[in-house]
Chain A
């Protein structure tokens, strides 16, 4: 559009339309619901927060869980990342594969499965050790969240450790640092900003976690579950709004910290020369300690899936272990919800990826009024707990002028805009790698901006688009927190019914449905890998 390229009218027009649509959508579907949540409670409601002992207790619980689960997840994530990138521990590849599984699974699944495995009637606790353990409460939640979220930390820190120039460690080794000294003086200090970044990212997810606490935290309320109780039990929307604001504030603060503070303190070095890296032999005690930790945690991850599968095939969990297929037959009565889940998530995943790519393209390539706004608002959903966005939508779009109560549209829209940030960041990343000199070269050779867009930029952005599509689809089909406030019998999706089945004690049915959900999301993943191969970088955090 600038310097030297031929302007074509159709391109200019579509650009203006695109900018308008993006800006308007972000205003209506991201900003407006946020503002509405803040406006809904009366001033008095806010003042009452401090006096409300239960709110304060809940806030405290949430913060405690955030500290506990974030620490343990980050610690385990680092152990995994270090083992995978820096050691010759056997089974590294398998550990990596296993630890990535939870990323593609519904968030409540870990808690659900652990109730079956380690709860009062747990297959392992009661069945094998004959112990009656009460897993409900903060301990169970801690365990579930640790297993659910350490993969996030792992993924971030794997990237960080990989991008630390091996030359630095070689230099340290050459100058006399070995074993733990090398780790203490070089490797860890260099990874520290990455560790902080990973911890903050995990903290946001732990705070926002709704699926695990709703299932396993029992009488230990956290902000997300308490907000749900306010509405479910007392129809107290103002109370729910206030709780979700209490949830938003720390997570938004962490989000800002993560983005603007840690982002700048990275030691990641990019050098031209890629040296062949030989992994140094790890000393035996260290090696087997790491192996032990990784094996134990991997086993805990695998147990999640084992529990679900067994749960889906036995007659009565805890008292009747005979095999049955009846739960899968009963699922057919739920086919409506399954079809809804599939169609909503497909539409939402595709639209979300498309929206994110267009926004990323405009922001990184064009100068326009409100460009900064688009950039910020497209990333913002990453900081919004699903609960918060859900409440925002239920306040904003269930009454005139826009009454979408009980409609498919409200679910799909919430899924779209909750997911734009991952796709947007992938898109920005991809476009940053495409040097503007491609454009200059093309326009220098006489291509119009429309042709440049069509023939150079679209092909280059195809791969990130597909990964954004797949990731958004999986996130949409497995989400519970966003849709829980928007669901009615007319638009309920699978995750919503699974939650209800678990709370009503129908474990077999819930497990069978969760298995189906897992099959769908792993198939989506498999298909993406099959068709796009290595081009698709999923969950690059």
Chain B
């Protein structure tokens, strides 16, 4: 990891008897886009607000640039937040809103104008400056809120579910725009969301939280393909769990047995310690993504390894893909087949292959 720009060490925060954060530690690299992901009540917003300085943490420390900021007031942290409801001041024009922080700092007016010009060109809100927040659309409010934060040239940009109040189309376009802007400015960004697809699409690094604890930190691909536990696996993306035990191993594969069927798992991606853990565990959980399996033509011969039989229970046709629910391996398996065509399989018995290199094991 590069230099840790924001370091969170053993941070705890209680509301009454409710533990919102339970000894959380996390390092955030300079210039990275880090997402705090989790269901509501997991503590992600509490962590963000603790970094912003709205909450006094009970225990642990938060550093920005190696400076402990536990007791530094919010505005001296230079960590500027974009609020979920934007928190635009309803009694000020857009321009007054955006320049508010600089005016509080008593920056010379010509300097403010310069920064304003620079900021609004990123965000395309030049024509809104004289309006009031109530007179512009949700997407525009979003940009204004972002401008109000960016004009401060913050060290750390904090985003609290900034896209959740927008409709789906707008959300997708602003998502891309936000990511591009962040990469252009290389500004350390901490982003809170409960939307896993948003997290996967935007982040350099994702921290998954549950019940006030960090479950896993990693790149989107790591989180997706190597979930550390069942919670992370099921929270990020759709997943099949197959319970069983490792019954054998060679250089290439771990052999797992589940209800009489033997499933091969590519062993090369595990280090020795992990392999030993799996081999010694009584029970392991196989994590298979719906797209890591393929329907195979039952008549054609070919690589017959890791091929299993099932029967279509029901399906959803989604255009670019079809999602099957298969009765197979003693449970219900969700399988996505892409480019299904008009006359593909809709019912009856099928054979499918699990790609040994794309599955993951969790020791239980």
Would you call A175 and B104 a contact (CB within 8 A)? Answer: yes
Interface string of A307-325 (1 = CB under 8 A from B): 0000000000000000000
- Residues on A with C-beta less than 8 A from B101 are 175-176
Q: With A165-B87, A171-B89, A172-B89 as known contacts, state yes or no: A178 contacts B56, CB within 8 Å.
A: no
Smallest CB-CB separation from B20: which chain A residue? A276
> B80 an interface residue at 8 Å Cβ cutoff?
yes
> A163 an interface residue at 8 Å Cβ cutoff?
no
Smallest CB-CB separation from B15: which chain A residue? A276
- Residues on B with C-beta less than 8 A from A267 are 90-91
> A174 an interface residue at 8 Å Cβ cutoff?
yes
Residue tally, chain A, CB below 8 Å to B: 26
> A370 an interface residue at 8 Å Cβ cutoff?
no
- Residues on A with C-beta less than 8 A from B15 are 276
Contact of A176 among B54, B87, B105 (CB under 8 A): B105
- Complex interface residues of chain B between 32 and 60 (CB less than 8 A to chain A): 45-46, 49, 52-56
> B75 an interface residue at 8 Å Cβ cutoff?
yes
> A275 an interface residue at 8 Å Cβ cutoff?
yes
Would you call B83 and A171 a contact (CB within 8 A)? Answer: yes
- Complex-state Cα separation, A278 to B14, whole angstroms: 12
Would you call B91 and A174 a contact (CB within 8 A)? Answer: no
Would you call B75 and A178 a contact (CB within 8 A)? Answer: yes
- Residues on B with C-beta less than 8 A from A269 are 85, 90
Contact of A167 among B46, B80, B85, B152 (CB under 8 A): B85
- Complex-state Cα separation, A352 to B75, whole angstroms: 53
Would you call B148 and A189 a contact (CB within 8 A)? Answer: no
For the complex formed, measure the closest distance between the CB of B90 and the CB atoms of chain A, giving whole angstroms: 5
- Residues on A with C-beta less than 8 A from B25 are none
Contact of A173 among B74, B89, B152 (CB under 8 A): B74
- Complex-state Cα separation, A173 to B84, whole angstroms: 16
Contact of A273 among B56, B85, B89 (CB under 8 A): B85
Smallest CB-CB separation from B45: which chain A residue? A275
- Residues on A with C-beta less than 8 A from B152 are 175
- Residues on A with C-beta less than 8 A from B100 are 172, 175, 177, 185
Q: What is the total of A-B residue contacts with beta carbons within 8 Å? A: 78
Counting chain B residues whose Cβ lies within 8 A of the other chain, the interface size class is 20 to 34
- Residues on B with C-beta less than 8 A from A185 are 100, 104
Q: With A273-B84, A275-B49, A276-B15 as known contacts, state yes or no: A176 contacts B89, CB within 8 Å.
A: no
- Complex-state Cα separation, A395 to B83, whole angstroms: 60
> A168 an interface residue at 8 Å Cβ cutoff?
yes
Would you call B104 and A176 a contact (CB within 8 A)? Answer: yes
Q: With A173-B74, A176-B105, A177-B75 as known contacts, state yes or no: A189 contacts B91, CB within 8 Å.
A: yes
Smallest CB-CB separation from B158: which chain A residue? A174
> B254 an interface residue at 8 Å Cβ cutoff?
no
> B81 an interface residue at 8 Å Cβ cutoff?
yes
Would you call A167 and B75 a contact (CB within 8 A)? Answer: no
Interface string of A156-191 (1 = CB under 8 A from B): 000000000101101111111110010001100110
> A271 an interface residue at 8 Å Cβ cutoff?
yes
Would you call A167 and B91 a contact (CB within 8 A)? Answer: no
Contact of B54 among A165, A177, A190, A278 (CB under 8 A): A278
Smallest CB-CB separation from B100: which chain A residue? A175
Among A174, A177, A185, A269, which residue has the most Cβ atoms of chain B within 10 A? A174
- Residues on A with C-beta less than 8 A from B104 are 175-177, 181, 185
Would you call B91 and A176 a contact (CB within 8 A)? Answer: no
> B237 an interface residue at 8 Å Cβ cutoff?
no
Would you call A165 and B91 a contact (CB within 8 A)? Answer: no
> B73 an interface residue at 8 Å Cβ cutoff?
yes
Would you call A167 and B89 a contact (CB within 8 A)? Answer: no
For the complex formed, measure the closest distance between the CB of B145 and the CB atoms of chain A, giving whole angstroms: 9
- Complex-state Cα separation, A173 to B54, whole angstroms: 9
- Complex-state Cα separation, A356 to B34, whole angstroms: 56
For the complex formed, measure the closest distance between the CB of B51 and the CB atoms of chain A, giving whole angstroms: 11
- Residues on B with C-beta less than 8 A from A190 are 89-91
- Complex-state Cα separation, A278 to B13, whole angstroms: 12
Smallest CB-CB separation from B77: which chain A residue? A174
- Complex-state Cα separation, A170 to B100, whole angstroms: 13
- Residues on A with C-beta less than 8 A from B55 are 276, 278
- Complex-state Cα separation, A151 to B80, whole angstroms: 39
- Complex interface residues of chain B between 113 and 140 (CB less than 8 A to chain A): none
Q: With A167-B83, A273-B84 as known contacts, state yes or no: A174 contacts B52, CB within 8 Å.
A: yes
Smallest CB-CB separation from A266: which chain B residue? B90
- Residues on B with C-beta less than 8 A from A176 are 75, 101, 104-105
- Residues on A with C-beta less than 8 A from B85 are 165, 167, 269, 271-273
- Complex interface residues of chain A between 118 and 177 (CB less than 8 A to chain B): 165, 167-168, 170-177
- Complex-state Cα separation, A144 to B196, whole angstroms: 62
- Complex-state Cα separation, A167 to B105, whole angstroms: 20
For the complex formed, measure the closest distance between the CB of B240 and the CB atoms of chain A, giving whole angstroms: 34
- Complex-state Cα separation, A273 to B87, whole angstroms: 12
- Residues on A with C-beta less than 8 A from B83 are 167, 170-171
Smallest CB-CB separation from B161: which chain A residue? A273
- Complex-state Cα separation, A171 to B148, whole angstroms: 10
For the complex formed, measure the closest distance between the CB of B52 and the CB atoms of chain A, giving whole angstroms: 6
Smallest CB-CB separation from A171: which chain B residue? B87
For the complex formed, measure the closest distance between the CB of B119 and the CB atoms of chain A, giving whole angstroms: 14
Interface string of A50-70 (1 = CB under 8 A from B): 000000000000000000000
Contact of B80 among A174, A178, A272, A275 (CB under 8 A): A174
- Complex interface residues of chain B between 87 and 112 (CB less than 8 A to chain A): 87, 89-91, 100-101, 104-105
For the complex formed, measure the closest distance between the CB of B347 and the CB atoms of chain A, giving whole angstroms: 36
Would you call B90 and A174 a contact (CB within 8 A)? Answer: no
- Complex-state Cα separation, A176 to B101, whole angstroms: 6
Would you call B54 and A170 a contact (CB within 8 A)? Answer: yes
Q: With A181-B104, A186-B89 as known contacts, state yes or no: A171 contacts B81, CB within 8 Å.
A: yes
- Residues on A with C-beta less than 8 A from B46 are 276
For the complex formed, measure the closest distance between the CB of A264 and the CB atoms of chain B, giving whole angstroms: 12
- Residues on A with C-beta less than 8 A from B89 are 168, 171-172, 186, 189-190
- Complex-state Cα separation, A273 to B160, whole angstroms: 11
- Residues on B with C-beta less than 8 A from A174 are 52-54, 74-75, 79-81
Smallest CB-CB separation from B55: which chain A residue? A278
Smallest CB-CB separation from B49: which chain A residue? A275
For the complex formed, measure the closest distance between the CB of B177 and the CB atoms of chain A, giving whole angstroms: 22
Q: With A189-B91, A273-B85, A278-B55 as known contacts, state yes or no: A175 contacts B73, CB within 8 Å.
A: no
- Residues on A with C-beta less than 8 A from B52 are 170, 174
Would you call A173 and B87 a contact (CB within 8 A)? Answer: no
- Complex-state Cα separation, A434 to B235, whole angstroms: 36
For the complex formed, measure the closest distance between the CB of A103 and the CB atoms of chain B, giving whole angstroms: 30
Would you call B56 and A278 a contact (CB within 8 A)? Answer: yes
- Residues on A with C-beta less than 8 A from B84 are 167, 271, 273
A-B contact pairs, 15 of them (CB 8 A): A170-B52, A171-B89, A173-B74, A174-B54, A174-B75, A174-B80, A175-B148, A175-B152, A178-B73, A189-B89, A190-B90, A190-B91, A267-B90, A275-B45, A278-B56
Task: Please list the residues of chain A having a beta carbon within 8 angstroms of any beta carbon in chain B.
Answer: 165, 167-168, 170-178, 181, 185-186, 189-190, 192, 267, 269, 271-273, 275-276, 278
**Beyond A170-B52, A174-B75, 8 extra complex contacts between A and B, CB < 8 Å:** A170-B87, A171-B89, A173-B54, A174-B79, A186-B89, A189-B89, A273-B84, A275-B49
Smallest CB-CB A-B distances: 8 pairs: A175-B101, A176-B75, A171-B87, A167-B87, A176-B104, A271-B85, A189-B91, A267-B90
